[in-house]
């Protein structure tokens, strides 16, 4: 069973133990490959919460197999989200259109179709997903019709992906699936990927490809770090000069309002939230090009030096600007949250500026520029609160003692062992948290680093059960200094898949050898679906990447 | 001048010095970008030996611009190699077909065409390049017709690439070129890229793309590490079972004789030699699947363990096999050299085998298994010599004292500072050498590692001038454990471009800032030509990669 899907792993095992890597320290990876058996879970990724697979298989006829709404489903033909998903997954499973073969009854038991049943009166077909969306589903694969049940469409999307992962080709190439029962739901509600479109512009097509791949891995948040020092590609209706002057190019390197709308809808159809980040007061060099007086003028001695620092926190015009910008952002991005950044504010420029110095004195901040930063952030949070959005902020904002709304999400990114302390402190203060510190995938190294991402346990910090419940999930980050359309996809996938399983599957799913077997097959499936996901180690896929 | 080509560098410079990398140790790279000025050499890469560019520009009209043979050229219309190259470079410079615009004389001075003149009586149109091929050329870009002179077609190919690198778009998008005089030739005759098609199979298309990119960087050797432990994709006419049983898949993961022929011709048309490597006696696990008794049976105590070691050096059948295989290889691959490997032979299995032990005694080798290895290699070298080929071997073969023909090339790969000692020893013994030790590009790390490849000086070892002349060049190696069609191109380019300039340009071309400016533009040119070359650092290209 699962024969063709896992053939690459089998071949790996066929290589003798004495064939070590040429000229390289690949011993650990050789051992991993050698010790790995095909998984009893086939190529499922991420592993569902409960799975039973029996050694009884059914055949699927491409010409007649149907994915259809159950009679009692609350979602009918008008539910575009599901109808689109049926077509997408049919193609994943069967490839392009098949000529209608006359159907000959043969000796094999056949699976005729997959019935999709949305059980909640409100299927949420036309809604946006949120952190509290129900993503659970149940799947029973048995003759004559498999049944996928989910309270909401979000669970149905995940169930379709899971069903497609169960289908394999037998030794004659016949599409097959085994008797299977699955009950599934995510361990964490927030499972994100951060992409950075400021250090390098990412064409819309690249973003869409990434969203598709996210859905194949059950990620549900696209954290769009859309602007930064280097460029401002977001085309604002309110402040068109921001991209006109701050983008790498005002026409070819911008996201128009319709680009954004398309990306948001493409994501929604895959159960993915789009959370934009407009990071201030630091990381805003590109903002200054299109908005006079927004940034702090730096001084060299008594004279302005000509360069600029973070957003100028002492001018009312700065807050007027932010108010209008975030009103627009709140309207353009339907998600309930925006990410406000707040990280890595460099005080050098503020310190050099005599007006800032005076302001500090007047406010009684002494020499503590963190207080000035907090002053700015506090006003910004009030502005964003007035737009009815919740907010996510990088951990510095919490660390600096800014007063935060109870529903604030604190994004933990600072590296190493300290991230556990940070999670403890954040949740002890009653805030929800997202973890990214161990998952900075832009950092690359030789050999299989997915294992280190996989081994992370987000709840390993010291804290009460109530505290642990405040960890909403995590995000894999792909910062853009060294990444653009040429290398994003293979650098991100399947390394991010390791994070996907950590955030979706049960806590005790930690067997690296089993993961290696499933992930090897999963990455070949991604390649077969046209995604340039890179290999884990010496191996092959039945269908190699054709996209070059 | 050079305005549009280098616009990405200019933009980089426009970014304020206070915009440091988000959450990353990118200080060095920030500084590099900040300190870099546009190069006075525009986007030339690798930098020619002598260049004069003046601030006088001419326009090129796509509809009428011609690349044509000079009257006195020894290569005429029957020289397919050049005719193909004219078409290729026309497309690189002007894109697709242009409708014939009526030609209106305007105020700009115009360059009407490029005349290509092969000066040697034998242009070598239909020959294969070799290590002694003349690759020099001279280029004069002046009204009304630019002139490219080269003794042989090989220099003309390089000159066409250089000419195409001189063409830029002015601010109105008009194709332009400056008055330029160039006299150029390579510093080293052997400038190679190693690709490994055993750890992962690389589809033919990927290999061809790489050959195209090599030509854009003036590389002239494709070192094809075609088989190894993991798989045997070379389809042998003499021993079809080798790939039938030893490839990852006998139909979809093999190189047929016509594939090989096509690759060799595609390379020849670009002035690139194809040197195949059939590495023995180690690295041969996959060989054993299709050739009984070729590999040494390993023993566990008194019984065969079922696993196999290196080629069995004590059987005459092994040498009969090698003799027939290398006769075929000599016929299939026209290059004067084959690479015989000879690296990393693991003695464990040999030591375990009682027949080998007896043979060692009989030969008086004692416990010195290096002597057995040398015994094997010696016989193999005699076999290959009888095919009239020269050979390249990895450094261990030299280190172990095997008697080598005077024209043997020793390939230095063992890392670190020792490679200088090795080069000294190899050349002191009178052998030619190729350097790869500092250029293992399969090793990846965060941030701009091209600089470390760029800073290598191959002749820094202690030795006489005569010894230094024995260093033929070097190769950048991309071993395949973690690389396949999904990630090869962005992982190799433009990192290998750094090696290309080191091996082509004059010894004193070492200014990293100047290189950064030119390489940034060069990589954008690669992207515009459809090659997924990854970025050096935060930046943009006027035409981003469209291939995803």
Give residue B195's pLDDT band: very low, low, confident or very high (50, 70, 90).
very high
pLDDT averaged over every residue in chain A: 93
State the nearest Cα–Cα gap between A505 and chain B, in angstroms. Answer: 26
State the nearest Cα–Cα gap between B487 and chain A, in angstroms. Answer: 6
Task: List the single best residue of A4, A12, A14, A23 to mutate versus B (max B Cβ within 10 A).
Answer: A23
| CA nearest neighbour of B526 among B498, B497, B504 | B497
**pLDDT above 50: residue A18:** no
- Reported residue count of chain A is 548
Chain B partners within 8 Å of A22 (Cβ): 196, 228-229, 283, 343-344, 479
Contact A130, A336 (CB under 8 A): yes
What does the alpha-carbon distance between residue B536 and residue B526 come to, in Å, rounded to a whole number? 13
What's the average model confidence in pLDDT over A273-292?
98
- Using CB atoms, pick whichever of B21, B481, B546 lies closest to residue A24: B481
Long-range contacts of B134-138 (CB under 8 A, 24+ apart): B135/B185, B135/B186, B135/B189, B135/B220, B135/B271, B136/B183, B136/B184, B136/B185, B137/B162, B137/B182, B137/B184, B137/B185, B138/B182, B138/B183, B138/B184
Does B546 contact A11 at a Cβ distance shorter than 8 Å? Answer: no
**Which tens digits make up the pLDDT trace of A478-507?**
999 999 999 999 999 999 999 999 999 999
- Using CB atoms, pick whichever of B21, B285, B446 lies closest to residue A19: B285
What is the predicted pLDDT for the residue at B57?
96
**pLDDT above 90: residue B17:** no
Does A542 contact B252 at a Cβ distance shorter than 8 Å? Answer: yes
**Which tens digits make up the pLDDT trace of A139-167?**
999 999 999 999 999 999 999 999 999 99
Q: What are phi and psi of A73, to 5 degrees?
A: -70, 145
Q: Which residue has the tokens 């050299």?
A: B337
What is the predicted pLDDT for the residue at A185?
98
What is the predicted pLDDT for the residue at B547?
82
- The residues facing A280 across adjacent strands are A341
**pLDDT above 90: residue A326:** yes
Does B19 contact A285 at a Cβ distance shorter than 8 Å? Answer: yes
Contact B533, B487 (CB under 8 A): no
Contact A505, A535 (CB under 8 A): no
- Using CB atoms, pick whichever of A11, A26, A443 lies closest to residue B248: A11
State the nearest Cα–Cα gap between A421 and chain B, in angstroms. Answer: 19
Give residue A547's pLDDT band: very low, low, confident or very high (50, 70, 90).
confident
State the nearest Cα–Cα gap between A182 and chain B, in angstroms. Answer: 32
**Which tens digits make up the pLDDT trace of B346-374?**
999 999 999 999 999 999 999 999 999 99
What does the alpha-carbon distance between residue B397 and residue A318 come to, in Å, rounded to a whole number? 70
Chain A partners within 8 Å of B308 (Cβ): 16, 18
What does the alpha-carbon distance between residue B101 and residue B118 come to, in Å, rounded to a whole number? 31
- What lies within 8 Å, CB to CB, of B249 at 6+ separation is A540, A542
Closest residue of chain A to B492, computed from CA coordinates = A487
**Which tens digits make up the pLDDT trace of A527-541?**
999 999 999 999 999
Does B489 contact A489 at a Cβ distance shorter than 8 Å? Answer: no
**Which tens digits make up the pLDDT trace of B27-43?**
778 888 888 899 999 99
What is the predicted pLDDT for the residue at B531?
98
What's the average model confidence in pLDDT over B297-316?
97
**Which tens digits make up the pLDDT trace of B385-435?**
999 999 999 999 999 888 888 889 999 999 766 899 999 999 999 999 999
Closest residue of chain A to B490, computed from CA coordinates = A487
Closest residue of chain A to B10, computed from CA coordinates = A248
> Beta strands of B157-232 (E only): which ranges?
168-169, 175-184, 190-196, 221-225
Chain B partners within 8 Å of A308 (Cβ): 16, 18
Q: What is the torsional sign of CA B231, B236, B238, B240?
A: positive
> How is residue A72 annotated by DSSP?
T
What does the alpha-carbon distance between residue A490 and residue A199 come to, in Å, rounded to a whole number? 18
What is the predicted pLDDT for the residue at B102?
61
**Which tens digits make up the pLDDT trace of A3-12?**
333 333 323 3
- Using CB atoms, pick whichever of A308, A348, A444 lies closest to residue B444: A444
What does the alpha-carbon distance between residue B66 and residue B144 come to, in Å, rounded to a whole number? 12
> How is residue B284 annotated by DSSP?
-
Closest residue of chain B to A342, computed from CA coordinates = B22
**pLDDT above 90: residue B380:** yes
Query: Cα A93 to the chain's mean position, in Å?
Result: 23
Does A446 contact B482 at a Cβ distance shorter than 8 Å? Answer: yes
Q: Please, where are the H alpha helices in B333-394?
A: 348-352, 354-363, 369-385
- Using CB atoms, pick whichever of A308, A542, A545 lies closest to residue B16: A308
What is the predicted pLDDT for the residue at A19?
30
**pLDDT above 60: residue B20:** no
- Using CB atoms, pick whichever of B206, B307, B527 lies closest to residue A548: B206
Give residue B7's pLDDT band: very low, low, confident or very high (50, 70, 90).
very low
What's the average model confidence in pLDDT over B256-272?
98
What is the predicted pLDDT for the residue at A13?
34
**Which tens digits make up the pLDDT trace of B469-525?**
999 999 999 999 999 999 999 999 999 999 999 999 999 999 999 999 999 999 999
Q: What is the torsional sign of CA B445, B450, B451, B453?
A: positive
Does B486 contact A490 at a Cβ distance shorter than 8 Å? Answer: yes
If one counts every other C-beta atom within 10 angstroms of the C-beta of residue B385, the result is 15
% of chain A at pLDDT higher than 70: 93
Does B230 contact A445 at a Cβ distance shorter than 8 Å? Answer: no
Chain A partners within 8 Å of B18 (Cβ): 285, 298, 307-309, 346, 348-349
Query: Could you give the ipTM of this predicted complex?
Result: 0.91
Six token digits for residue A535: 């290999």
- Using CB atoms, pick whichever of A230, A253, A443 lies closest to residue B446: A443
Chain A partners within 8 Å of B29 (Cβ): 481
User: What are the b/e assignments for A200-232, b being 16+ CB within 10 Å?
Assistant: bbbbbebbbbbbbbbbbbbbbbbbbbbbbbbbb
Q: Which residue has the tokens 């406000």?
A: A340
Contact B59, B175 (CB under 8 A): yes
- What three-state secondary structure class fits B174? coil
What is the predicted pLDDT for the residue at B141?
98
Closest residue of chain A to B283, computed from CA coordinates = A19
Of the given ranges (A169-173, A466-470, B135-139, B291-295), which has the lowest mean pLDDT?
A: A169-173
| CA nearest neighbour of B396 among B382, B377, B379 | B377
State the nearest Cα–Cα gap between A522 and chain B, in angstroms. Answer: 15
Choose, from A344, A361, A481, A544, the residue flagged as catalytic.
Answer: A344
Query: H or E element: which one contains B56?
Result: strand B50-59
Does B22 contact A228 at a Cβ distance shorter than 8 Å? Answer: yes
More confident site: B162 or A20: B162
What is the predicted pLDDT for the residue at A67?
98
If one counts every other C-beta atom within 10 angstroms of the C-beta of residue B462, the result is 10
| Residue pairs between chains A and B whose CB atoms are closer than 8 Å | 229
pTM for this entry: 0.93
> Beta strands of A378-421 (E only): which ranges?
390-394, 409-412
- Tell me the DSSP string of A104-139: ---SS-B--EEEEEE-SS---TTSPP-TT----EEE
- Using CB atoms, pick whichever of A486, A538, A547 lies closest to residue B481: A538
- Tell me the DSSP string of A183-242: EE--S-SEEEEEEESSSS---HHHHHHHHHHHHHTT--EEEEE---SS---B--SS-THH
Does A535 contact B200 at a Cβ distance shorter than 8 Å? Answer: yes
What is the predicted pLDDT for the residue at B84?
98
State the nearest Cα–Cα gap between A483 and chain B, in angstroms. Answer: 7
Six token digits for residue A15: 């290589």
**pLDDT above 80: residue A133:** yes
Task: List the single best residue of A540, A545, A546 to mutate versus B (max B Cβ within 10 A).
Answer: A540
What is the predicted pLDDT for the residue at B4?
33
Residue B473 Ramachandran class (φ > 0 left, ψ -120 to 50 alpha, else beta)? left
Q: Please, where are the H alpha helices in B388-494?
A: 395-399, 418-428, 450-454, 465-469, 488-492
Give residue A25's pLDDT band: very low, low, confident or very high (50, 70, 90).
low
**Which tens digits make up the pLDDT trace of A421-440?**
999 999 999 999 999 999 99
Q: Radius of gyration (Cα) for chain B, nearest Å?
A: 25
**Which tens digits make up the pLDDT trace of B268-280?**
999 999 999 999 9
| CA nearest neighbour of A358 among A314, A309, A303 | A314
What's the average model confidence in pLDDT over A439-465?
96
Q: Which residue has the tokens 């400038």?
A: B191
Query: H or E element: which one contains B59?
Result: strand B50-59
What is the predicted pLDDT for the residue at B112?
96
Task: List the single best residue of B23, B245, B296, B536 to mutate versus A (max A Cβ within 10 A).
Answer: B23
Closest residue of chain A to B249, computed from CA coordinates = A542
Contact A402, A395 (CB under 8 A): no
What's the average model confidence in pLDDT over A99-118?
80
Which residues of B are catalytically annotated?
344
Does A482 contact B228 at a Cβ distance shorter than 8 Å? Answer: no
Residue A388 Ramachandran class (φ > 0 left, ψ -120 to 50 alpha, else beta)? left
What's the average model confidence in pLDDT over A196-220?
98
Chain B partners within 8 Å of A11 (Cβ): 248
What does the alpha-carbon distance between residue A407 and residue A391 come to, in Å, rounded to a whole number? 8
What is the predicted pLDDT for the residue at A293?
97
> How many distinct helices (H) and strands (E) make up chain B?
19, 17
Terminal Cα distance for chain A, rounded: 32
If one counts every other C-beta atom within 10 angstroms of the C-beta of residue B354, the result is 9
Query: Cα B361 to the chain's mean position, in Å?
Result: 44
What is the predicted pLDDT for the residue at A225?
98
Task: List the single best residue of B524, B538, B539 to mutate versus A (max A Cβ within 10 A).
Answer: B538
**pLDDT above 80: residue A370:** yes
């Amino acid at each position: 069973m699962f024969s063709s899907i896992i053939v690459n792993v089998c071949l790996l095992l066929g290589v003798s133990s004495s064939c070590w890597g040429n000229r390289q320290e690949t011993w650990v990876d050789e051992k991993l490959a050698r010790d790995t058996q095909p998984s009893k879970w086939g190529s499922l990724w991420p592993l569902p919460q409960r799975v039973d697979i029996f050694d009884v298989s059914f055949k699927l006829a491409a010409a007649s197999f149907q994915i259809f709404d159950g009679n009692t489903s609350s979602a009918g033909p008008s539910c575009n989200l599901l109808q689109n998903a049926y077509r997408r997954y049919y193609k994943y499973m069967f490839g392009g259109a098949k000529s209608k073969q006359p159907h000959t009854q043969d000796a094999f038991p056949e699976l005729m179709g997959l019935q999709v049943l949305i059980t909640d009166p409100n299927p949420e077909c036309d809604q946006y997903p949120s952190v509290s969306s129900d993503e659970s589903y149940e799947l029973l694969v048995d003759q004559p019709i498999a049944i996928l049940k989910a309270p909401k469409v979000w669970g149905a999307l995940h169930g379709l992906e899971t069903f497609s992962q169960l289908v394999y080709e037998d030794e004659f190439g016949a599409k097959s699936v085994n008797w299977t029962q699955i009950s599934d739901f995510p361990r964490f509600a927030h499972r994100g990927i951060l992409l950075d479109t400021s250090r390098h512009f990412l064409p819309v097509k690249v973003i869409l490809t990434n969203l598709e791949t996210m859905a194949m891995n059950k990620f549900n948040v696209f954290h769009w770090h859309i602007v930064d020092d280097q460029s401002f590609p977001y085309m604002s209706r309110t402040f068109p000069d921001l991209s006109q002057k701050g983008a790498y190019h005002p026409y070819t390197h911008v996201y128009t309002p319709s680009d954004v709308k398309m990306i948001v809808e493409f994501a929604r159809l895959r159960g993915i939230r789009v959370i934009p980040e407009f990071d201030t007061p630091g990381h805003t060099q590109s903002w200054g090009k299109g908005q006079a007086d927004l940034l702090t003028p730096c001084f060299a001695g008594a004279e302005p030096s000509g360069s600029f620092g973070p957003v100028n926190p002492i001018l009312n015009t700065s807050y007027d600007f932010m108010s209008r910008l975030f009103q627009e952002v709140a309207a353009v991005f339907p998600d309930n949250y925006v990410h406000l950044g707040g990280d890595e504010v460099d005080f050098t420029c503020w310190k050099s500026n005599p007006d800032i110095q005076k302001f500090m004195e007047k406010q009684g901040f002494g020499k503590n520029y963190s207080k000035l930063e907090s002053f700015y952030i506090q006003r910004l949070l009030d502005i964003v609160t007035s737009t009815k959005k919740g907010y996510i902020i990088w951990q510095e904002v919490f660390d600096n003692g800014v007063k935060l709304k109870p529903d604030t999400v604190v994004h933990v990114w600072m590296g190493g062992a300290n991230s556990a302390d940070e999670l403890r402190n954040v949740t002890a203060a009653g805030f929800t948290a997202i973890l990214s510190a161990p998952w900075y995938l832009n950092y690359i190294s030789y050999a299989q680093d997915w294992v280190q991402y996989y081994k992370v346990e987000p709840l390993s910090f010291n804290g009460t059960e109530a505290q642990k419940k405040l960890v909403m999930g995590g995000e894999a980050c792909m910062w853009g200094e060294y990444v653009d359309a040429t290398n994003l996809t293979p650098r991100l996938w399947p390394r991010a898949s390791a994070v996907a399983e950590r955030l979706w599957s049960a806590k005790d799913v930690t067997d690296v050898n089993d993961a290696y077997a499933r992930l090897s097959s999963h990455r070949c499936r991604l390649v077969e679906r046209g995604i340039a996901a890179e290999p884990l180690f010496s191996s092959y896929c039945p269908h190699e990447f054709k996209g070059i």
